[in-house]
């Protein structure tokens, strides 16, 4: 059993490292952030807190892994503050965006510290990690829907995130017999697999997004919806994205909005 636990632990570490590297690459490629904000904040706070605690109590191999993850997550945080403003409506100014982002990260640090206060270090490190993982799994689905496509996302991130969570679920939930972690880990897998399926479907059949945009979304565009604003920024040269599917979607929004009497 010891060898299996070691193998699963190493597998989880490798998978999460792949998640971070891919998120950084995709973030700069698509000029956005590749991890949902609240999940990013909780993840970053977790890594900072337990890295500092690890060095304070005697650094282990895991402490140095946490340090590497912290540095990688810091780059993803940078992509949020560098590109994240573009994901919001125009009335959200730069100052409000930065202030709101700082508030979210501060709240995430507070939540992670409250876990330590309530459960102590041994349980807090596991409980908080799995709960934030469950939140992240759901928020990836929400991000796919909110962005109306796979911009800032990739199948590598989706699959590696699933494997990186499944491996410790087996270690702590099955081998160590934690019912709580096993239950939360199973829920993570359900949402992770749902996200993988949705992402695969969208990547294989981008016309599904176009169909939605040219039907149900046209009413929102006619009222000044965000897709119409995207189309306007695209034509004026202020929208910069390498995602071909997103460009196709914007072009269809132009056509549909014109048909509904409002050409942006």
Domain boundary among 183, 204, 225: 204
Residue carrying structure tokens 């046209």: 218
The pTM assigned to this predicted structure is 0.78
CB hemisphere CA count around 206 (13 angstroms)? 14
| Sequence-ordered list of residues with C-beta below 8 angstroms from that of 150, at least 6 positions apart, any chain | 144, 199, 202, 203, 243, 245
pLDDT at 212: 54
CB hemisphere CA count around 196 (13 angstroms)? 15
Inside any domain, residue 264:
no
Same domain? For 160 and 56 the reply is yes
Average pLDDT rounded to a whole number, residues 221-229: 51
Sequence-ordered strand ranges (E) for 55-182? none
Same domain? For 71 and 125 the reply is yes
Same domain? For 186 and 242 the reply is no
Domains held by the chain: number: 2
pLDDT at 38: 97
Same domain? For 234 and 119 the reply is no
Same domain? For 31 and 160 the reply is yes
Residue 154 in contact with residue 26, Cβ under 8 Å?
A: yes
Q: How confident is the model at residue 60 (pLDDT cuts 50, 70, 90)?
A: confident
Inside any domain, residue 136:
yes
Q: What is the pLDDT of residues 7-44, one digit of tens each?
A: 998 999 999 999 999 999 999 999 999 999 999 999 99
Inside any domain, residue 121:
yes
For residue 241, what are the CA distances in angstroms to 81, 122, 135? 17, 44, 27
Same domain? For 109 and 31 the reply is yes
| Residue-range definition of the domain harbouring residue 77 | 2-204
Same domain? For 198 and 236 the reply is no
């Amino acid at each position: 059993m010891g060898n299996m636990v070691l193998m699963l632990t190493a597998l989880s570490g490798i998978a999460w490292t792949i998640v971070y590297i891919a998120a950084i690459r995709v973030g700069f490629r698509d000029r956005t952030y590749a991890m949902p904000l609240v999940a990013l904040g909780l993840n970053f706070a977790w890594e900072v807190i337990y890295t500092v605690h690890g060095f304070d109590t005697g650094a282990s191999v895991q402490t140095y892994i946490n340090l590497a993850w912290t540095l990688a997550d810091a780059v993803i945080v940078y992509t949020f503050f560098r590109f994240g403003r573009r994901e919001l409506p125009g009335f959200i100014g730069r100052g409000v965006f930065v202030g709101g982002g700082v508030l979210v990260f501060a709240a995430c640090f507070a939540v992670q510290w409250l876990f330590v206060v309530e459960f102590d270090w041994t349980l807090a490190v596991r409980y908080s990690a799995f709960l934030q993982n469950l939140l992240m799994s759901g928020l990836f689905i929400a991000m796919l829907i909110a962005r109306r496509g796979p911009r800032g996302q990739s199948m590598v991130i989706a699959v590696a995130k699933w494997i990186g969570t499944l491996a410790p679920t087996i270690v702590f939930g099955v081998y160590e017999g934690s019912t709580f972690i096993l239950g939360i880990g199973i829920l993570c897998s359900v949402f992770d697999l749902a996200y993988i399926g949705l992402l695969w479907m969208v990547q294989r059949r981008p016309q599904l997004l176009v169909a939605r945009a040219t039907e149900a979304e046209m009413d929102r565009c006619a009222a000044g919806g965000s897709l119409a604003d995207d189309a306007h920024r695209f034509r004026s040269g202020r929208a910069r994205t390498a995602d071909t599917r997103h460009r196709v979607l914007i072009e269809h929004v132009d056509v549909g909005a014109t048909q509904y009497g409002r050409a942006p």
